[in-house]
Amino acid sequence: MELYPDGFLSKDIDRHVAECLEDFPRHAGLIDRANRVAMDFLRKPRSIPDENADLLTTLLFGRAVQDFEAAIFLAQHGFRAQSRSMVRSTFEAALYCQASSREISLLKGMSPQIKKGTGTALPFIDGLIGGHQRFRLATAKELRDMQELPSDHSEALSEVIDDLGPASSYKDIDIKGLAADLGFSDLYTVIYRSLSQDSHPSVTSLNHHVNLTPESKITGFHFGPDYEQFEETAAFAICSLLLAMEAFTIRCGSPEESEEVKSLTEAYRDLMSDVT
């Protein structure tokens, strides 16, 4: 496809969206349906939950929906690697939403460097907060140690570090272990692992930017719109959104909403059985 003078920022790039939807009508139809149902869930007036798990599940579900929409937007515009990176984020948000909805305790899901020798479980929300605190502590220490930092900033950061206390008191979440705790190890391998290659400038990802002959000789470079893996990317995105929708409806939804998710799941299974 043509790479316009302004690259992906060109207004002319929008015409590829319609072409993409025409090329993959069944995927496009399920994307539209699932997204509308998810948005209906978010737009429905609900009371602010009193329990942390209810509030966290709602917030994580909203995040998963936004990540899903971003992934689809990028995929439709030909951002192959970037869209797959966002599907990875959607899947991670969906796992977190599942963990919050079930109020699980992390066993394998504790960060490896933390869980060694502990032999104890960690409530998911404690792991989420602990990871946030560890990030704050590590960042504050690195900023404070910068020679260019003004003295008053260093003093303020030292106060933050003192308030946070030692790093060993904070637990963190390991995404692979979290998937195992939830019973989604297979999905982690199929979705998260394969998408991870496109979240970084890896050899796998960079290979999509060269044109090769059957003899693997490079004949040119390709940095324009790329729809090579659109079907797979869309399928992974829908699956991730459905995981989040299931978690949300179980925790915060109505029986009618749960039935809508089941109907979408069946439609997804039908789509995948035809594709495979």
Q: Where are the domains of the chain?
A: 11-106+175-275, 110-173
Distances in whole angstroms, Cα of residue 252 to Cα of each of 34, 94, 239, 259, 265: 18, 15, 20, 14, 18
Where residue 112 falls among pLDDT bands split at 50, 70, 90? low
Q: Which pLDDT score, from 0 to 100, does residue 274 have?
A: 81
pLDDT-based confidence at residue 82 (cuts at 50, 70, 90): very high
Count of residues in the chain: 276
3-class DSSP state for residue 255? helix
Q: Which of 9-23, 38-52, 107-121, 250-264 has the lowest mean pLDDT?
A: 107-121
Q: Is 42 left (phi over 0), alpha (psi -120 to 50) or beta?
A: alpha
**What is the tens place of the pLDDT at every residue in 148-170?**
889 899 999 999 999 998 877 77
Q: What is the pLDDT of residue 17?
A: 87
Task: Give the tens place of pLDDT for each residue, 187-246.
Answer: 999 999 999 999 899 988 898 889 889 898 999 988 888 999 999 999 999 999 999 999
Fill in the DSSP letter of residue 173.
B
* Residue 117 confidence (pLDDT) above 60: no
Q: What is the pLDDT of residue 276?
A: 57
| pTM value surpassing 0.75 | yes
Q: Which two tokens stand for residue 61?
A: 């579900």
SS3 category, 202: coil
pLDDT digits (tens, 9 = 90+) for 137-148: 999 999 998 988
Collapse the DSSP code of 220 into the 3-class scheme (helix H, G, I; strand E, B; otherwise coil) and give the result. Answer: strand
Q: What is the pLDDT of residue 248?
A: 96
Average pLDDT, the chain: 90
Position 115 scores a pLDDT of: 47
pLDDT, position 92: 97
The larger pLDDT score, comparing residue 152 to residue 49, is at 152
pLDDT at 184 over 90: yes
